[in-house]
Amino acid sequence: MKKYGIVCLSILLAACGQQTEQTEGTKHDEDGHGHHGAPTAEVDSTTLTYNDETHFKNVIQLTTGGDNAEAYFGFDSKTVVFQRTNPDEGIECDRIFYGVLPETKEDNFTYKLVSTGTGRTTCSYLMPDGKHFIYSSTHLGGKECPPVPDRAEHGNKYVWPIYDSYDIFIADLNGKIVKQLTNTPGYDAEPVISPKGDKILFTSTRNGDLDLYTMNMDGTDVKQITHELGYDGGAWFSPDGSKIVWRASRPKTPEDVKEYKDLLNQGLVQPTNMEVFIANADGSDVKQVTSLGQANWAPNWMPDGKRIIFASNHEYERGFPFNLYIINADGTGLEKISHDGGFDAFPMFSPDGKRIMFSSNRNNHGTRETNVFIADWVE
């Protein structure tokens, strides 16, 4: 659920995606991806940008059809893994795909399935060797897609499932699993790898709450690094590996705490109030970056390691659109950088800092498709 987290309002959490539901004109994955209908403004079909999007140049739409999100660069800045759901192709819930990125619009983007083709998957990341990837999957809990919660049973509130059958695996680019990294009861998902290639950062419920943990690349030396009550997830290392950024809920009132705990006991979370936090890579010196209200999630570091890019719906009382924003690590200098009328989220910069990849409802011709886009970055 990394990412609001496919999963992802597949929107709020860096969650990772699954089957979808519709509400208020917006389609949301239970893992946090928000998928919306036709935007309020018309995107330029030539540039795939809106008038105010000055940071995007040479935009390429990588996917077409279905829901595509949580697309992340490999260490070489040339490859990608992403999640895809498309019932028209028999992909009933998120599966992981791998491809080599095009340099120009004239180049073809082809991709192949690299997860098992069973269960539900989320939050993939290429390994430093360029030959393997890490991802989360429920396939050991069953071959079918796990069921989506019935919101009517929860007062029609927007909730995400935290499937306890999620574990973290390493596989090669032919889909063969070479190692299972987690094997504890409960949810283990949302893994990312340090730029140094020495640590994995992930979210787990092994302590009864949703907290961040680190482990070595072989799954050893697991350490809990967040400790406050609430959903800590969708975390990323800074470009030099010294810091982390993530999104978190922080229930404070007795009523909110009770609701959070009751839902978590049912394997659910309500990701509608989240803010962005940063800390040192070991979890020390925690600082809250945003205090905007509503859902601020899918944060990532800018190439300079001094600013954060994230998705948010804080400007909109109805809860959408979601757009991308940049903010300094000290919480100053907020800048809106994307303007789709539905959904922009899951931003990631290439390791060389030259390109940005994100998911968006733009150019979906009034459908509910979410696709992956890549662009040159202009400061």
Name the percent of the chain lying above pLDDT 70.
Answer: 89
Do residues 63 and 55 lie in contact, with contact meaning Cβ atoms separated by under 8 Å?
no
Query: Vertex 71, ends 24 and 2: CA angle to 5°?
Result: 60
- In-domain check, residue 7: no
Please state, in angstroms and rounded to a whole number, the distance separating the CA atoms of residues 295 and 275: 7
- pLDDT per position as a tens digit, 31-49: 343 333 334 578 999 999 9
- In-domain check, residue 5: no
Please state, in angstroms and rounded to a whole number, the distance separating the CA atoms of residues 91 and 234: 24
Reply yes or no on whether the pLDDT at 8 is more than 90: no
Do residues 25 and 38 lie in contact, with contact meaning Cβ atoms separated by under 8 Å?
no
- In-domain check, residue 11: no
- In-domain check, residue 54: yes
pLDDT (mean) for 256-260: 96
Please state, in angstroms and rounded to a whole number, the distance separating the CA atoms of residues 324 and 335: 9
Concatenating the DSSP letter of every residue in 317-359 gives TTS--BEEEEEETTS---EE----SSBEEEEEE-TTSSEEEEE
Identify the burial level of 208 via C-beta atoms within 10 angstroms of its C-beta, where 0-12 means exposed, 13-18 middle and 19 or more buried. exposed
For residue 208, what are the contacts with CB-CB under 8 A and spacing of at least 6? 264
pLDDT class of 240 with cuts at 50, 70, 90: very high
Give pLDDT, residue 155.
82
Number of domains composing the chain: 1
- In-domain check, residue 215: yes
Please state, in angstroms and rounded to a whole number, the distance separating the CA atoms of residues 72 and 156: 32
Q: How many CA atoms lie within 13 A of 356 on its CB side?
A: 26
- pLDDT per position as a tens digit, 267-314: 999 988 999 999 999 999 999 999 999 999 999 999 999 999 999 999
**Quick one: tokens of 324?**
């991308």
The reply to whether omega before 321 is within 30° of 0 (cis) is yes
Please state, in angstroms and rounded to a whole number, the distance separating the CA atoms of residues 36 and 340: 10
Which of 304-313's residues contact partners 24+ apart within 8 Å by CB, and which partners? 304/239, 305/238, 305/239, 305/240, 305/243, 307/333, 308/245, 308/276, 308/278, 309/337, 309/347, 309/349, 310/247, 310/276, 310/347, 311/4, 311/11, 311/344, 311/345, 311/346, 311/347, 313/9, 313/11
For residue 323, what are the contacts with CB-CB under 8 A and spacing of at least 6? 311, 312, 313, 315, 336, 337, 338, 339, 340, 344
- In-domain check, residue 264: yes
Give pLDDT, residue 184.
93
Q: What are phi and psi of 215, to 5 degrees?
A: -155, 160
- In-domain check, residue 372: yes
In which residue are the tokens 């919660």 written? Answer: 149
- pLDDT per position as a tens digit, 326-359: 999 999 999 999 999 999 999 999 999 999 999 9
- pLDDT per position as a tens digit, 60-75: 999 999 999 999 999 9
What is the extent of the structural domain holding 55? Answer: 20-377
**Quick one: tokens of 188?**
């283990």
SS3 (DSSP) at 257: helix
Reply yes or no on whether the pLDDT at 6 is more than 50: no
- pLDDT per position as a tens digit, 85-123: 999 999 999 999 999 999 999 999 999 999 999 999 999
Do residues 138 and 146 lie in contact, with contact meaning Cβ atoms separated by under 8 Å?
yes
Model pTM? 0.91
**Quick one: tokens of 274?**
């989240």
Any idea what the CATH number is for the domain that residue 152 is in? 2.120.10.30
Please state, in angstroms and rounded to a whole number, the distance separating the CA atoms of residues 232 and 249: 7
Give pLDDT, residue 40.
52
Please state, in angstroms and rounded to a whole number, the distance separating the CA atoms of residues 326 and 311: 9
